[in-house]
Chains A and B, each alone.
Chain A
């Protein structure tokens, strides 16, 4: 391997890693606030790419129908749970959030779509359509078992991923998509050609991580999320609703996953089931950060990207085997590094 090839592989790896980093940060965000290890984030990223591709092809994406169905389900569950607790007076508010808002988003997207919008608007539409999915899934799937063990939540999360893969095939079909590049700019650095897309990916990752940092440190909502992450009961006593914090975390997380999906779509062909590997690799990165540290997760994810890039040069067939085998030593290191109190398992 010459130094030229190594440089190309490294740049390639950093770009892939930056995409993973966005998803990894979202994963950490969700985990710290809700204790859910949200495996389906990769699917959200893949769905965004598929949504954008459908918009590019002037088709209304299946995401719309998915959001409508999930919104109806969430609203139904909300009605039932409010009726059970005798709090039907809260119904209008709940319905406006779980039913009207998602419908409005889909409606707006549908209307704007007909005006044949430019790329920038299509990007916004794709993100708009994708962002409601995770909060709705949270309401339907995770809220009823929010007090369960991390393991239970993880099991449910894995099952949810499989459901989403099936839905993905149903709503987007089996064809892979590759969207048009966001930029045709390219530059040369130290003798190696760097495409504008690569630069864009890295810049986007940096910008979004930076924004998240500002959000957490300088806004009250961000601080309330951090408080929930540290202690749910304690923050509840301070008037923070963990459910609301969870919803915000899911919104933010899926925004990051959506951005990563948009960034990866011009580089790799994305299928309805591509999300699993994106999600898991991001997740390997998140574990490097101990599932709690954002910079740790980002560094870990970039590391995974670089490793994958070099591994696929050595043996493209076994690159995934190599990446996942590496997870085990990382897990052992993390487990030794984190002093946690012993958790007894639910009877």
Chain B
């Protein structure tokens, strides 16, 4: 099927076209990357806090986490979660005397895997940003009676956010591209969809080019967005 159809029909939105599926795949890719980024930000901030913690063991654990997750291929992490999650879930369920719940949704394991790696990189970025705030300012804020939330909102965030934005933009780009690895779990994101389309129409070149174009749209649109945010950030930060 489709072997003789012209490219425009195959990529179109008609009955034989894969256009709708590819766009939906791109949307799912975006969702995976967003979820991974969010997981990475939360976990990364926790790692940064842990590294600055008074408990040596906790700080060391956070450092080791960063070293390992930045030194191991992302594909390995995705595979580990994909193959390992059902067993882990069954084990946890058995602890509570429940039957095995089967495999968790591919979206969850996929974005968790990318997010775990993202966290290691984001923690480095946050650490670098925090160094930019002199400890005297934190002490002064404490002396003025500010709580941790107020301290973060008034003293740390305004000085750190515009500094961490460019490296976070880089990490976002990597998340977007790493989300293609989730395709091995069978989640129908852009990479998987293009593979399926290539397989069923026997036109791999066409569909891989289409997927490349869609990835380029995603990456260049988000880099434009980050550039805009950076300009805003500079304005908030005032003259350097």
**A and B part of one assembly:** no
Chain B residues close to A by CB (< 8 Å) = none
Chain A residues close to B by CB (< 8 Å) = none
